[in-house]
Amino acid sequence: MTTWILNGLTVNPESGETEKKHLRIENGAVAEWTDGAVLPDTAGAQVIDAAGKLVSAGLIDMHVHLREPGFEHKETIATGTQSAAKGGFTTIACMPNTRPVIDTPDTVKLVLDKAAAEGAVRVLPYAAITKNELGRELTDFAALKEAGAIGFTDDGVGVQNAQMMKNAMALAHSLGMPVIAHCEDDSLVEGAAVTDGAFARKHGLKGIPNESEAIHVGRDILLSEATGVHYHVCHVSTEQSIRLIRLGKSIGVNVTSEVCPHHLLLSDEDIPDSMDANWKMNPPLRAPRDVEACIRALEEGTIDIIVTDHAPHSEEEKARGMERAPFGIVGFETAFPLLYTKFVKTGRWTLDFLLRRMTSDPARVFGLPTGKLTPGAPADIVLIDLEREREVTPETFLTKGRNTPFAGWKLFGWPALTMVGGKVVWTEENGIN
């Protein structure tokens, strides 16, 4: 089957300017780009007119929570992947802190089968480092890899025992697999809901200190150096962690890292006095100096990629208040517009830079065949309307979650069409296909 995407805008990485081109897709793969000044022969082909819209490789999100199995009241693989498609994401990697935990080949297979049957986009499952994410016994890494897991993580909790983490890293390295770490020392965070900063002091709350994250980052960089494993740091949020990652990279440790939009856009000083739990996430919003450190680290390459940490919860759960509500916010449907409006429209970043951090860079870090639109690559594509301004309206989300601090924000850069493997899976006009 032939599909032509006509009159789309692409970014010239050398000039940073957009250029009009046509894209031909054959049998689910990119075939060729042609001169936008000359209309091709489209007889017998499916035609999509992308006039005025950016044509990009589909976005990649290597840190998401689909909640299924076990927490289907928060999200399902079907609703989560539909939300991802609406946000322009075509490949997502889901965390294993479900119930049951994704810690056996059967649960990996369950996720993959559900995604194949009901998912709108590509789903790559992580498996747990330890059984039930309890930190006591390693899972069967070899069997989990064979079942289709793409890496190992106990996301949601940090691996507290250093010897357990070292053993996990050594085993993962022997299998050519990465270890993805939620970095948090439990002894420093128990009972706290926000960062140890201005908001916590103002409201008399126990705070989560920066060092609770950085202690594990430093420990694990040393363990990665000792074992040789590819070590990836989840949702970096502190200046201290960044210093340690920068040092690890400088001495040749195979360490990569990620950052979320909310840690690039918001600080604890932005949290409203209403104690709205839609501002509660883990890691928490940090001080303004940490926000700027995260931005600079992403710009210089110390932080490699952007992820959403999409974490839906029910409205009832979030209504429990700042101290009792669960951590987490949704991210699929707002990530690109937030970053485009904040950083590209203002001139701090180029469009090419933002796209690379959300497409080709995650593909490079995790060895994926997606994230590019060169001939032969999968036709995973998003069309984005860069000029249309819209308001963030949680009631229109496809995710089950409404938990976002960005409600009411007016943003540019909204996806208009998402394609996976040459098949249109979502359009602004018609929704999920």
Mean pLDDT, to the nearest integer, of 19-31? 97
Angle between helices 288-300 and 239-250 (to 10 degrees): 20
* Residue 16 predicted with pLDDT over 90: no
Q: In the prediction, which pLDDT does 15 show? A: 76
The share of the chain scoring above pLDDT 90, in percent, equals 98
Mean pLDDT, to the nearest integer, of 6-31? 92
Q: In the prediction, which pLDDT does 195 show? A: 97
**321-338: per-residue pLDDT in tens?**
999 999 999 999 999 999
Quick one: which of 224, 274, 282 has its CA closest to 254?
224
Which residue do the tokens 């979320």 mark? Answer: 260
Residue 232: both structure tokens together: 């990836």
Mean pLDDT, to the nearest integer, of 270-288? 97
Which residue type is seen at 204? G
Q: Which residue among the candidates 103, 220, 290, 309 is catalytic per the annotation?
A: 309
β-pair type (2-11, 46-49): parallel
Cis peptide bond N-terminal to 96, omega within 30: no
Q: For residue 17, name the pLDDT band (cuts at 50, 70, 90).
A: confident
Quick one: which of 359, 417, 393 has its CA closest to 87?
417
Q: In the prediction, which pLDDT does 348 show? A: 98
Q: For residue 190, name the pLDDT band (cuts at 50, 70, 90).
A: confident
Q: Under a CB-based contact definition with an 8 Å cutoff, are residues 5 and 55 in contact?
A: yes
Mean pLDDT, to the nearest integer, of 381-409? 98
**129-161: per-residue pLDDT in tens?**
999 999 999 999 999 999 999 999 999 999 999
**49-105: per-residue pLDDT in tens?**
999 999 999 999 999 999 999 999 999 999 999 999 999 999 999 999 999 999 999
Least reliable range by pLDDT among 11-20, 273-282, 380-389: 11-20
Over the chain, what is the mean pLDDT?
97
| 3-state secondary structure labels for all residues of the chain | CEEEEEEEEEECCCCCCEEEEEEEEECCEEEEEEECCCCCCCCCCEEEECCCCEEEECEEEEEECCCCCCCCCCCCHHHHHHHHHHCCEEEEEECCCCCCCCCCHHHHHHHHHHHHHHCCCEEEECECCEHHHCCCCECCHHHHHHHCCCCECCCCCCCCCHHHHHHHHHHHHHCCCCEEECCCCHHHCCCCCEECCHHHHHHCCCEECCHHHHHHHHHHHHHHHHHCCCEEECCCCCHHHHHHHHHHHHCCCCEEEEECHHHHHCCHHHCCCCCCHHHCCCCCCCCHHHHHHHHHHHHHCCCCEECCCECCCCHHHHCCCCCCCCCCCCCCCCHHHHHHHHHHCCCCCCHHHHHHHHCHHHHHHHCCCCCCCCCCCECCEEEEEEEEEEECCHHHCCCCCCCCCCCCCEEEEEEEEEEECCEEEEECCCEEC
* Residue 400 predicted with pLDDT over 90: yes
β-pair type (194-195, 431-432): unpaired
* Residue 310 predicted with pLDDT over 90: yes
Other beta carbons within 10 angstroms of residue 12's beta carbon come to 10
Q: How far apart are CA 159 and CA 254, in angstroms?
A: 19
**228-255: per-residue pLDDT in tens?**
999 999 999 999 999 999 999 999 999 9
Q: In the prediction, which pLDDT does 293 show? A: 98
* Residue 38 predicted with pLDDT over 90: yes
Q: In the prediction, which pLDDT does 191 show? A: 86
Active site (annotated) includes residue 309: yes
**338-351: per-residue pLDDT in tens?**
999 999 999 999 99
Q: How far apart are CA 330 and CA 76, in angstroms?
A: 13
* Residue 12 predicted with pLDDT over 90: no
